[in-house]
């Protein structure tokens, strides 16, 4: 099963939207709440090549961006078979 990680903060509309879309697609994910966790937030930024907005989403270790990018992947039907579309990094 694909490994999906989503970094979030509370009261983040884009985070809720992203989680709703993942839920709707039946995709399991591990949520990392960085609201009060500067250390994890730094890790997130490093993994996302400096991007600091939330959410930041990773599929099989690949940085895919935030909610807008997740929607784009869905529009391209790339969320249907994650393991085929996102090789482990």
Ligand X SMILES: N[C@@H](CCC(=O)N[C@@H](CS)C(=O)NCC(=O)O)C(=O)O
| Nearest position to ligand X, beta carbon | 66
* Minimum distance, C-beta of residue 43 to ligand X, in the bound complex (Å): 16
What contacts 24+ positions apart, CB below 8 Å, involve 71-74? Answer: 71/21, 74/21, 74/25
Identity of the residue, 4 or 12, whose beta carbon is nearer to ligand X in the bound complex? 12
* Minimum distance, C-beta of residue 17 to ligand X, in the bound complex (Å): 8
3-state secondary structure of 6: strand
Residues interacting with ligand X, by CB under 6 A?
12-14, 52-55, 66-68
């Amino acid at each position: 099963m694909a490994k999906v990680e989503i970094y979030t903060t509370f009261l983040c509309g884009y985070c809720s939207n992203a989680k709703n879309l993942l839920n709707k697609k039946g995709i399991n994910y591990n949520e990392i709440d960085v609201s009060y966790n500067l250390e994890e937030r730094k890790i997130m930024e490093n993994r996302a090549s400096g991007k600091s907005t939330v959410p930041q989403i990773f599929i099989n270790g690949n940085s895919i961006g935030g909610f807008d990018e997740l929607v784009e992947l869905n529009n391209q039907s790339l969320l249907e078979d994650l393991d085929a579309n996102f090789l482990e990094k």
